[in-house]
Amino acid sequence: MTGNQIQGLIGMTATLGILVLLVLPSVLGILRDRRIDRQIRKAQEAHREQEAQKSSSRSTVPSTATWYADGRRSKKLVSS
C-alpha cells in the first residue's frame, strides 16, 4: 500500500466512525421508544383483562345508597 492509499483508508475509517457516532444516539432512542411502547401496550392489555374480569365477577349486591334507602323506607312503614 502506498501512502495515499493509507491516507484514504484512514480518512474513510474516520468518516465512517463519525457517521456511526452521529447515527448511534438516534438508533438507541428508537429502540428505547419501541421498548417503552411495548411495555405500555402490555400494561394496557393487562388492564383491559383485569377490567373484563371485574365486570364479569361483579356481585349483584345493591349499592350502599340502595341499602340505605330501603332501610329508611321500611322504618317509615313501621312507624306509620
pLDDT value of position 54: 78
Name the domain count of the chain.
1
* Residue ranges making up the domain that contains 38: 23-54
User: Cell 332501610 appears where?
Assistant: 71
8-state DSSP, 50: H
28 located within any domain: yes
The whole model's pTM is what? 0.53
Over the stretch 15-63, which tens digit does the pLDDT of each residue have? Answer: 999 999 999 999 999 999 999 999 999 999 999 988 888 776 555 665 5
What cell was used for 64? 350502599
pLDDT value of position 43: 95
Assess whether pLDDT exceeds 80 at residue 69: no
75 located within any domain: no
Q: When comparing pLDDT for 69 and 11, which is higher?
A: 11
Distance (Å, whole) CA 28 – CA 36? 12
